[in-house]
Structure 1
Amino acid sequence: MSSFPVAIGREHHAFRKWSIDRGVQINGIEAGVMPGQGMGIYATRDIEENEVVLQVPLSAMLTIDSMPKDFVAKFAADAPVQGIMAAYLMIASEKYSQSTSAPGDDDLGEIENEYDIRPWLDVLPSKQDIKRSLPLVWPDKFKKWIQIDMNDSAVNQHEETGNSDSSRANKRRKVSGGADYGDVLLTPCLSGLWNTLPNAAKGPSYDRSKHQHILSRQENRLLRTWDFVSAALPDADWDTFLYYWLIINTRCFYYDGSMAGEGDPRSQGKSLDDNDSIAMMPFADYFNHTNKPGCKAQFDGQQYTFLTTKKHVKGEEIFVSYGQHPNDFLWAEYGFFLDENDSDTLYLDDIILNDLTSADLEELQGWQYLGNYQLFAGEVCYRTEMAACLKHMPRDDWRAYVYGESTQSVDDEKTARIIKEWICKYLEECEAALKALASQDSNDDPSQTDDNVDYREALCVKRWRQIRDLCKRTLDAYIQ
């Protein structure tokens, strides 16, 4: 471990041995810590391209198919896999904290002693780490309408009252539509709220991209899952369940049970929930993400293989890719975002919908051009350009343009000017949010340490500055 600036703890060495005992093959890599960063995977020697550095067999993974059948049977057939897995870890951790032996079969079902997962649980990020990085569980001043608090006993519907009602209303106290939201500190993609625009939906409804209103989507998924878990396990503790749900959300891998010949329909792509095709993999969950990874993961039905795609020198961190995602999505799902992200995207939907007439919106919907207006570094998407054209073109000419029959009345300068106005509106929001963050009192939430509050505010400032730079680069491209 001398290659790494900071040595890992004893529990990580125990977990490494535990993983190897279960068939995980580790070749030329090790888990380590860099100053100012979390755990990661590093090369212990020079590694060539196309080297297998890690293999995780199916038998070592935690999946819906590997959990005890009698435990899974406690849940409804359409219960989300992530919730069942979180409940499994929750009960396992409670059993392990009460006994030095493997858990019995009262809650978890029959578990062979060799599948004692205590070493794995011992190396997971702490509850404090989760609270610090994931906006979903931040204090109310950041979230506004999302009221999930890991320290709020009021969200646990079973506490003292004995109320077994699993209604998600017990855990959510949304701000009414006409309320004053105050300063909005998180980005619109995360919160769905603005400082400089009306926070009310306008025009026809449509299916927003999964990269918009991310936290409300995440909250709905979490609370729906809790409904299933609390119904199956009436004594389940909300705080502990929330922690393990977030752990799985940040550390799981894609798993296709049909490739493995396993039985649960939810692992075979037959579920309506895309999040059901997941697995937890020991040691592999140390890998960090980049958009330009040096390692790729492959699943053949029997094992996951991690193969390098470039050379690495001794001591260099080896990254994988979690997928090509914008920074706001990474932030909400994993608790971090990248300094440089070629996939970073902003959505102009709220700005554009507020700028168009009701007739314009109905026209766009009729032609399937309503919504999902994206801004990248230096350009906007074709849908945005079509919306801008509609704003200045006669309706019949615009329809002919959509058909590809005519470019009459198409005016690139007018289109560019409209798009620039929309980008400038986003820049106004950047400045408003940064001003609001600068005026925050770090001591206005006595339940939080100054370090945590400052860290969260610093993350918000960093992200808003990224957005400002992204807007300015795109604006410059339209000015030239």
Structure 2
Amino acid sequence: MSIQDKKLVSLLEWIKNTNDEQLKPSSHSYISSKLEVKDYGINGGRGINATSNINRSELILRIPPSFLLNTNTVITHISKYNDSIKLSEPYYTSLYTPYNNLSDKFTKVYESLCLTDLLNLTSFQLLSLYICLEKQRGENSFWKPFIDMLPDISDFKYTPLIWKVNQVSNYEKLLLLLPKSTKQHTDNVYKRFMNDYEIVENLLHKKDFKNYITIELFLWSWMCINSRCLYMTLPQSKTSADNFTLAPYVDFLNHSCEDQCSIKVDGLGFQVFTTNSYSKDQQLYLSYGPHSNDFLLCEYGFVLPYENKWNDINISNFILPLLDNNQIDFLKDNDYYDNYTLTAQGISFRTEVALAVLQEQNPQSSRKLQALLNGISDGSVYKYKSDLLLIEILEKIIHTCNNSLYLEYSDDEDIPTRERKRIIGILYRNMLDICKQVKEKL
């Protein structure tokens, strides 16, 4: 049995724990006997496979609160090492949290924290800190079976954030090769990551725990969370961005554009039902959301190479420089400033508005424009000039894409660079396909 298979066995033994009969409701997990974790190879990774026919609307997974990793469970676990953290909410006290009271250098960190310290962190910051410390605790960690099955940093090798933080071979050239919108997305992800790292580092330094977490370890933890978090409303959340959890085993479900499974969250925990029927040896999927390849690459580290119906192109960098101050003010006042996109079906309404505003010297006083915004007019009065400008933009993008398609067939001797260039080439091919389809309809 391989090391990975042994880790999977440990995960299943851990997650099926039944030593909590006194809890109501019970925190028993459920994993359908019709499921197995299967390795789909270098491009597919691990996923969930049907070992026999599965009906539509069938419960296939239930992961109870005790085995969900989120703000509430993290604070509950930390409180086991810190008597000053008093938790009275029923949600906390119903968790199954066995402890052997082992103390190590990392639990000393927990002992130094107060509840305010924990609640001042975002869910992302708290979980990133906690997973980093728990990974280093090894056998002393309740979460070891789950942490052992999280992906390695090498599994995120296509993520531009990884290129930049770890300064991989040719990373500066690779970042310059990215489409502008992808580069902007990468910069935004990098800012989020560095902000979280600096806040956690400052907290540890304030508590005199220096050099407990390297940036490489934090990056691994942060990417595991970013690529595997699932929406779940939490009572302690300050913003909607804090409403997420990690769910062991559920995270083996790979992404599909179509919803093939549905999620229900209640007192029993995190439950997954099928929305399709499955035949034996079919892979089960879960939609991560309506995400383009640009988003999937920057946030999760992969793309759908053949067909992704959510692919779009952000053309804001072509439109924004054309706007005068008066037009900018109008768009901002009406919440239509920036984020101008188009898909294979055509331009978004937001983009249509921006193209119309470009044709108005005094948009604030334009009845035609107000009619468009209010849905009274279909905007046909603007269509001719909007189409001319759009064709000009499309031709510029097509030219850029044609000059960049070679990346998909890169033959660099440096294999990692070659693979990363090919991923970038796929993004340009996606853009080219959209531009051609839109242009044909004009």
Confirm or deny a common fold (TM above 0.5). yes
Query: Quick check: which one's helix share is greater?
Result: 2
Q: Deviations 1:206-260 (Å, cap 9, x if unpaired)?
A: xxxxxxxx222211221121122112323222211111111111112122123xx
1:81 correspondence with 2:123? yes
Letter of the aligned partner of 2:312 in structure 1?
Answer: T
Contact 2:48–2:283 (CA under 8 A) maintained in structure 1: yes
Contact 1:8 1:33 in 2 (8 A): no
CA apart distance, 1:417: 1.8
Match of 2:282 in 1: 316
Q: Distance in 1 between matches of 2:16 and 2:383?
A: 61
Partner of 1:204: none
Aligned length: 383
Q: Do the aligned partners of residues 215 and 389 (structure 1) sit closer, same or farther apart at CA in structure 2, a change above 3 Å counting? A: same
C-alpha distance 406-87 of structure 1, shift in aligned 2 (>3 A): closer
Give the aligned residue type for 1:317. Answer: Q
Once residues 363 and 202 of structure 2 are traced to their aligned partners in structure 1, the CA distance between those partners, rounded to angstroms, is 56
> Is 1:380 paired with 2:418?
no
Partners of 1:95 and 1:7 in 2: CA distance: 19
Match of 2:412 in 1: 442
* Structure 1 unaligned regions, length at least 5: 104-114, 139-146, 153-174, 176-180, 193-213, 259-264, 444-449
Does the CA contact (< 8 Å) of 2:11 and 2:149 recur in 1?
A: yes
Determine the structure 1 residue equivalent to 2:322. 355
Q: Which residue of 2 aligns with 1:243?
A: 220
Task: Pick closer, same or farther for the CA change 1:26–1:408 going to 2, 3 Å.
Answer: closer
Contact in 2 for aligned 1:397/1:409 (Cα 8 Å): no
Structure-1 residue corresponding to 2:39: 33
Residue of structure 1 in register with 2:437 after alignment: 473
- The answer to whether the 8 A contact 1:40-1:288 is kept is yes
Post-superposition shift, 1:10?
2.6
* Deviation, structure 1 residue 8: 6.7
TM-score after normalising by structure 2: 0.78
* Aligned position for 2:230: 253
Q: Name the aligned partner's letter for residue 188 of structure 1.
A: K
Deviation at 1:403, TM superposition (A): 2.1
Take 2:362 and 2:434, find their aligned partners in 1: how far apart are those partners? 32
Distance 1:118 1:416 in 2: 57
Q: CA offset at residue 395 of structure 1?
A: 4.4
The letter for the 2-side match of 1:347 is: N
Is 1:120 aligned with 2:127? no
Matched, 1:149 2:166: yes
The residue number in structure 2 matching 1:136 is 161
8 Å CA contact 1:41–1:317 kept in 2: the answer is yes
Q: Which residue number corresponds to residue 24 of structure 1? A: 29
1:5-404 equivalences under 5 Å are: 9-21=5-17, 23-27=28-32, 28-35=34-41, 36-67=43-74, 68-69=78-79, 70=82, 71=110, 73=114, 75=117, 77-96=119-138, 101-102=139-140, 115=142, 117-130=143-156, 132-138=157-163, 147-149=164-166, 184-192=176-184, 214-233=185-204, 234-235=210-211, 236-258=213-235, 265-266=236-237, 270-271=238-239, 274-338=240-304, 339-392=306-359, 395=362, 399-404=366-371
Deviations 1:88-140 (CA, angstroms, capped at 9, x unpaired): 221122121xxxx425xxxxxxxxxxx2x22222222112222x1211111xx
Q: How far, CA to CA, are the matches of 1:396 and 1:133 in structure 2?
A: 44
In structure 1, distance between residues paired with 2:50 and 2:420? 32
Aligned match for 2:381, one of 406, 410, 413: 410
1:463 partnered with 2:427: yes
TM (normalized to structure 1)?
0.72
Residue type of the partner of 2:293?
Answer: N
CA distance in 1: counterparts of 2:380 and 2:279, whole angstroms: 58
| Distance 1:90-1:471 versus aligned 2 partners, 3 A rule | same
What is the aligned partner in structure 1 of residue 95 from structure 2? none
Where 2:288 maps in the other structure, the secondary structure is coil
* SS of residue matched to 2:387: helix
Are the structure 2 counterparts of residues 370 and 456 from structure 1 closer, same or farther at C-alpha, using a change threshold of 3 Å? same
Pair 1:364–1:340, CA change in 2 (3 A): same
Unaligned runs of 5+ in 2: 19-27, 83-109, 205-209
How far is the alpha carbon of 1:317 from its aligned partner?
0.6
| RMSD of aligned Cα (Å) | 3.1
How many Å apart are 1:7 and its aligned residue?
12
How far 1:32 sits from its partner (Å)? 0.7
Identical positions, percent = 24
Distance 2:67 2:200 in 1: 25
Query: Within the alignment, does 1:429 sit opposite 2:400 as a pair?
Result: yes
